[in-house]
Amino acid sequence: MLFPHLRHDHRLPTAEEALKGRPEPAFPLAGRHAVLGNPLAGPYPEGLAVADFGLGCFWGAERRFWQTPGVWTTLVGYQGGHTPNPTYEEVCSGLTGHTEAVRVVFDPAVVPYASLLKVFWESHDPTQGFRQGNDRGTQYRSAVYTHSPEQQSAAESSRDAYQSVLRASGYGDITTEIRPAGPFHHAEEYHQQYLEKNPAGYCGIGGTGVSCPVGVAPAGGN
């Protein structure tokens, strides 16, 4: 692990504390999705929309979304932090402020944004703060990064509805970060569709078993 004497896994670094990063990506992103066959990088075809989610280790999280009908492509990366164009090792140091994120490119005529929110909430425990199960660190925090006022409203409405059913099931407060999307920095090639390339690979994704109410958010969010 890089910078063990400086590691922050209990709080987010300030912009002044964060690693400086680099002006350009440290590695290219090319090729097509290993399962869906569509390009990973944009620009994407007209009529598609983009959604970004953080729900723990992005290997298993990405698979949940590429298995969802109506999703055109997915890719994993780093989002919500300060350091431009970080590497995986830098993100894991806790000194970039990023969380592991999945970018979902979808056809809203086939799968509404509300349905993606349902997948998101039910695929992890959003009450755990800076961890997901045994994975601990700020890079595993729960997050929704939105691309329109409609997505922001839908995410907040779904959070409030899910909070009610989680609380009734004995869970605490949702700690999910919901805010407009900032830069999405793609992860290294070997992380993309990792569980397709490594079927026996680690998957730390696991939900609460509590169903998110259907129809808790508007179907828009293009």
Give the residue numbers annotated as catalytic, written as ranges.
Answer: 57
Tokens, residue 13: 């670094």
Q: How far apart are CA 115 and CA 32, in angstroms?
A: 25
Judging by DSSP bridges, how do beta strands 177-180 and 184-186 pair with one another? unpaired
Tokens, residue 188: 């290294």
- Main-chain dihedrals φ then ψ at residue 111, nearest 5 degrees: -130, 110
C-alpha distances out from residue 67 to 31, 59, 74, 81, 136, Å: 19, 13, 10, 28, 26
C-alpha distances out from residue 139 to 24, 57, 184, 212, Å: 21, 8, 14, 24
Q: How far apart are CA 6 and CA 2, in angstroms?
A: 9
Nearest Cα residue to 203 out of 67, 29, 7, 1? 67
Strand-pairing partners, residue 180, are 146
